[in-house]
Amino acid sequence: MLKTLFEIIATMADDPDKYRSDVRKELLELADTMPLAPMSAAREKKVRAFVKETVGNLLINQRPN
């Protein structure tokens, strides 16, 4: 559902590909810098990797068929 929401918004943008690229870049940067609750370094690394994977799957820079 979240992916659909991003796609609907992207279709309203002047340049949908640029919109998706910009949002993806910002979310990946946020995944690296967002403060997290206290946890071990290994756990933090796993959490950040999961978020990056999720963002990558949500915002593939390709139009739906």
Grade residue 58 by pLDDT with cuts at 50, 70 and 90: confident
pTM for this model (two decimals):
0.74
What is the tens place of the pLDDT at every residue in 4-22? 888 899 889 999 889 888 9
Q: What percent of the chain has pLDDT over 90?
A: 55
In-domain check, residue 65: no
Which has the closest alpha carbon to 3: 50, 62, 46? 62
Give the separation between CA 40 and CA 57, rounded to whole angstroms. Answer: 26
What is the tens place of the pLDDT at every residue in 41-57? 999 999 999 999 998 88
User: How many structural domains is the chain composed of?
Assistant: 1
In-domain check, residue 20: yes
Q: Residue 37: is its pLDDT beyond 60?
A: yes
CB-based contact 3:23 (threshold 8 Å)? no
In-domain check, residue 33: yes
Q: Which domain holds residue 29?
A: 2-58
